[in-house]
Amino acid sequence: MTSPYHAAAREKRAAERILDERNANSGGVPRGSSSSRGPQQLPLHSDPIGTEGHGHGSHHHHPPAPKSWFPVRAGGESGRSGIHPWHFFRIVFRSSSLASRMVNVLWPVVPAAIALRYAAPHQDLAIFILAYIAMVPCANLVGFAGQNLAKKVPHVFGVLAETTFGSLVEIILFIVLIKRYSPTSSVDYTQVIRAAILGSILATMLLCLGFCFVAAGFKREETHFSEIVSEAGSGLLLTAGFGLAVPTAFYNALHGRLDIRELDRKTLEISRSTAVLLIIAYLVYVFFQMRTHHGIYDAIFEADAERDDDKHKELQSHRLTLIESIIALAVGVALVTIIAIMLVDRIHFLVEERGVSDAFLGLIMIPLVEKAAEHLTAVDEAYDNQMNIALSTVLGSTLQTALFNGPLVVIVGWGMNKPMGFNFELFDLAMLILAILTVGNFLRDQKTNYLEGMLCVIVYVAIGVAAAHYPNPQELHEAFPTTGTSPAPATSGSEGGHH
């Protein structure tokens, strides 16, 4: 049986042969020859040394262009430097795919939502609807800016950076939610965050991955992917699920046999310890990808890039400069923060006036809007026959939520003296474990088709229907008071807020 390392090396050699053939056909010098350091005919928006700000190549009668302070991968070259407002707005609006371009049509909703927030602050439902829609193009801008930055760095670091930038929306939402927590509030924001952590994992792992399989199935009967990507991702998903389940298992094992306040305190301490351990696991995973095994992942991603169905269009597409990418990212993050505050301020209205449950709000509504940009990116990659990159985006986003974003909000809550922990509802946790097992089974044979994709989507819809009918924990406590050695506070928002 061929080892994963040999398979990756074979894929890398195949990518190198394709690159040599392309250079030979275009009159260039084959890679690795003694004269390969000289000027070559390169695709549009790239340069001989791959640095931001160079022109289309240096001739012998021209002085060499000044070298950029930041080395840029040739695939991420824009052919420009500095800031060009007209090009900036045109490139941002065109975005990276048709789906993203369609999302950009929603940009007029952003100023409308902000204006309504100040003109009619009591129109809670209208403000929430507009803000919910406005979050999509704002998140798309963050994702697009992250993509442009990611293309300017090596492949492995680029995939990790793209996933991290895409998760900024989620991190901002979680921090805004935890700051809103108050023991006297009618809404338990820690419960919403716990549901949103699991909901984000489920939305990416089931809905996004399912659509990736379906999109790939439009062009091919079966789509294959590397066992290195799938096995590492599946193993870490099981580890993350186990880590997230420990505080919940501890609480429910001792509930009714230990003083409820003592049990809450111990469960919160376990949650904080688990959060630190999960972040350590994520850092080891990043080190594994970027340092010790980066050659394997580079070979896989480069081979995927060569199989890209839209490769020629992408080579001719315009890209943001490094400065423009940073500006777009900063603007996107600022808008996302404003919209997130508007959304969180209306959660109490949805829960109290409209009867929306915490489970549906956290498991379904929040993850769908916060992960929109990442989902569009991954589905577009799968459709273009880049399944390894799409799978890395999906699994990377899922793992970042489980191993970093979720634990991060627990540690932030710890610093703010908020009782934020990992004591999940049993229903939510059961859905997570079953989803991890289901996806792991689909990834086992390193190939997929549209049937498996539709099954993932159907499972996610079934979870959504159940979440819509799931009552809030506080309602359950009012109808069925918690039994134990001492009564639990009615609106404490503590770790023992459910059974």
Q: What is the pLDDT of residue 275?
A: 95
pLDDT over threshold 80, residue 494: no
For residues 340 and 20, the model is more confident at 340
CA distance 140 to 375: 10
Average pLDDT rounded to a whole number, residues 189-196: 89
pLDDT over threshold 50, residue 197: yes
pLDDT over threshold 60, residue 268: yes
| Phi, psi for residue 47 in degrees, rounded to 5 | -140, 170
Q: Which of 7-21, 75-89, 421-435 has the highest mean pLDDT?
A: 421-435
What are the residue ranges of helices labelled H in 384-472?
A: 387-400, 406-415, 426-443, 450-468
- Helix or strand run (H / E) with residue 224: strand 223-224
Closest to 107 measured CA to CA, from 149, 144, 67? 144
Q: What is the pLDDT of residue 207?
A: 93
The pLDDT tens digits of the residues spanning 351-410 come to 888 888 878 888 888 888 888 777 887 888 888 888 888 888 888 888 889 999 999 999
Q: pTM (2 decimals)? A: 0.74
Average pLDDT rounded to a whole number, residues 233-249: 89
Average pLDDT rounded to a whole number, residues 117-122: 90
pLDDT over threshold 60, residue 211: yes
Closest to 231 measured CA to CA, from 377, 391, 358? 391
In a domain, 350, yes or no: yes
**pLDDT band per the 50, 70, 90 thresholds, residue 101:** confident
Buried residues in 159-178 as b, exposed as e (16+ CB within 10 A): bbbbbbbbbbbbbbbbbbbb
In a domain, 413, yes or no: yes
**pLDDT band per the 50, 70, 90 thresholds, residue 49:** very low
Q: How many domains does the chain have?
A: 1
447: left (phi over 0), alpha (psi -120 to 50) or beta: beta
For residues 59 and 206, the model is more confident at 206
Average pLDDT rounded to a whole number, residues 461-485: 73
CA distance 305 to 302: 5
Average pLDDT rounded to a whole number, residues 136-142: 87
Q: What is the pLDDT of residue 461?
A: 94
CA distance 166 to 26: 37
CA distance 129 to 113: 9
**pLDDT band per the 50, 70, 90 thresholds, residue 119:** very high
In a domain, 489, yes or no: no
The pLDDT tens digits of the residues spanning 272-314 come to 999 999 999 988 888 877 766 555 566 666 666 666 555 555 5
Do 267 and 423 form a contact (C-beta atoms < 8 A)?
Answer: yes
**pLDDT band per the 50, 70, 90 thresholds, residue 23:** low
pLDDT over threshold 90, residue 93: no
Closest to 143 measured CA to CA, from 402, 304, 453, 379? 379
**Is the C-alpha dihedral spanning 371, 372, 378, 382 positive or negative?**
positive
In a domain, 46, yes or no: no
In a domain, 479, yes or no: no
Q: What is the pLDDT of residue 301?
A: 63
Q: What is the pLDDT of residue 307?
A: 63
For residues 50 and 331, the model is more confident at 331
Q: Which of 108-112, 149-153, 281-285, 381-385 has the highest mean pLDDT?
A: 108-112
**pLDDT band per the 50, 70, 90 thresholds, residue 37:** very low
Q: What is the pLDDT of residue 273?
A: 95
In a domain, 61, yes or no: no
Average pLDDT rounded to a whole number, residues 333-347: 89
**pLDDT band per the 50, 70, 90 thresholds, residue 53:** very low
Structural domain of 185: 83-472
Q: What is the pLDDT of residue 397?
A: 85
pLDDT over threshold 50, residue 158: yes
In a domain, 269, yes or no: yes
**pLDDT band per the 50, 70, 90 thresholds, residue 482:** low
**pLDDT band per the 50, 70, 90 thresholds, residue 491:** very low
The pLDDT tens digits of the residues spanning 447-463 come to 888 899 999 999 999 99
In a domain, 234, yes or no: yes
**pLDDT band per the 50, 70, 90 thresholds, residue 25:** low
Q: What is the pLDDT of residue 22?
A: 54
Pairing mode, if any, of strands 447-448 and 223-224?
antiparallel
Residue-averaged pLDDT of the chain: 77
CA distance 280 to 271: 14
